[in-house]
Amino acid sequence: MIRPHHRQTGKRALGKILQTVFTAGDRVYRPKEIITDMADRFQIDISYAQVWRAKNWALNEIRGSLEESFRLLPLFCYNLQQRNPSTITQIETDSDNRFQFVFISLGCSIRAFREYCRPVICIDGAFLKGRYWGTLFIAMGKDGNNQIYPIAFGVGGREETMTWTLFLRALHRCIGDLTNLAIISDRHQAITHSVREVFPNAHHGWCNHHIKGNMRARYKQTKHMEGLFWRAAKAYRTEDFEEALYMIKAENPTAAAYLEGIDYARWARAYSSGIRYNIMTTNITESFNALA
């Protein structure tokens, strides 16, 4: 008998039906779509929880469980180093041998950045979703065509000083001490502390996109000032920067005070090397979420 809310539509029965869909292609099959399809094909009503359990069962049958993937991580890193010369990987575990952190940087990415890319690195973290929460740590540069160039990535716990220090120390093993190195990030205190510890001689500047976003979040009536903000952020000369900041102060004194209070001298520190570092204003967080 086929009837709504049939008790035999368990995760195994539904999962075997869904297996063929997930095996056939790369379709993103959402639970709401599965509910609609099951109602059309079999005239049964199933709950969101039933679909979620069935989808996870089907994916585990095809790809293996997440726990098994964690156990295979050391073997994966070993084979990655064997197949890709100069690749650097690092796995950290706690006292009970439970996963804490993994770092991966391909050898080709390391060589190309050191030899052909500008010494500018953007770093950020993006929250990961799923059964095991965590953070994706990314280090990116720009190649000669101004395209985003991945250098290294890592997966660990939340954004804090310990995890950022682990990531930056592993990154330092890859690139070493570069002359005129500039690191661009948001104003997270853990990043500031870790950069100061691991790369004490590097220029550390703030990501202009994050500064603009924080300014708009704090002061709602500042959207019309975005042009002035980017005029200041992209200024080559100190005089142009100060002129743009003066115009911002005339428009909104509180927003200008906020910009002055976040050590905007970091925008000017990079000029000493003759390279305009503060052009790195891409919203890298959105890029990292897409990559994750």
CA angle 209, 211, 214 (to 5 degrees): 110
Contacts of 19 (CB under 8 A, 6+ apart): 58, 61, 62
Please tell me the predicted confidence (pLDDT) of residue 269: 40
Alpha-carbon dihedral angle through residues 26, 31, 34, 35, given to the nearest 10 degrees:
-170
Contacts of 138 (CB under 8 A, 6+ apart): 123, 124, 125, 126, 150, 152, 153, 284, 288, 291
Q: Are 156 and 163 in contact (CB under 8 A)?
A: yes
Distances (CA, A) of 247 to 146, 231, 238, 241, 252: 30, 10, 14, 10, 9
DSSP notation for 246-257? HHHHHH-HHHHH
Region label for 171, one of left (φ > 0), alpha (ψ between -120 and 50) or beta (otherwise):
alpha
Cut 0.85: pTM above it: no
Please tell me the predicted confidence (pLDDT) of residue 139: 95
Distances (CA, A) of 24 to 21, 27, 29, 38, 64: 5, 8, 12, 18, 17
Please tell me the predicted confidence (pLDDT) of residue 212: 84
Per-residue pLDDT of the chain in tens (292 residues, 90 and over written 9): 555 556 667 788 888 888 877 776 666 788 888 888 888 888 888 888 888 888 888 888 888 888 888 889 999 999 999 999 899 999 998 888 888 999 999 999 999 999 889 899 999 999 888 778 889 999 999 888 888 899 999 999 888 999 999 999 999 999 988 888 999 998 888 999 999 999 999 988 888 888 888 888 887 777 778 888 888 888 888 888 888 888 888 888 888 888 888 766 565 343 333 333 333 333 333 333 343 3
Please tell me the predicted confidence (pLDDT) of residue 266: 61
Amino acid letter, residue 67: E
Please tell me the predicted confidence (pLDDT) of residue 52: 87
Please tell me the predicted confidence (pLDDT) of residue 169: 95
Structure tokens at 144: 């000669």
Contacts of 67 (CB under 8 A, 6+ apart): none
Q: Where are the domains of the chain?
A: 11-64, 67-291
Distances (CA, A) of 52 to 45, 57, 58, 65, 68: 14, 9, 10, 15, 20
Give the C-alpha separation, 187 to 189, whole Å.
Answer: 6
Give the C-alpha separation, 75 to 78, whole Å.
Answer: 5
Residue 127 φ/ψ, nearest 5 degrees: -70, 140
Give the C-alpha separation, 286 to 206, whole Å.
Answer: 17
Please tell me the predicted confidence (pLDDT) of residue 27: 66
Start-end of H helices in 98-144: 107-116
Structure tokens at 153: 């990535």
Strand partners, 185: 206
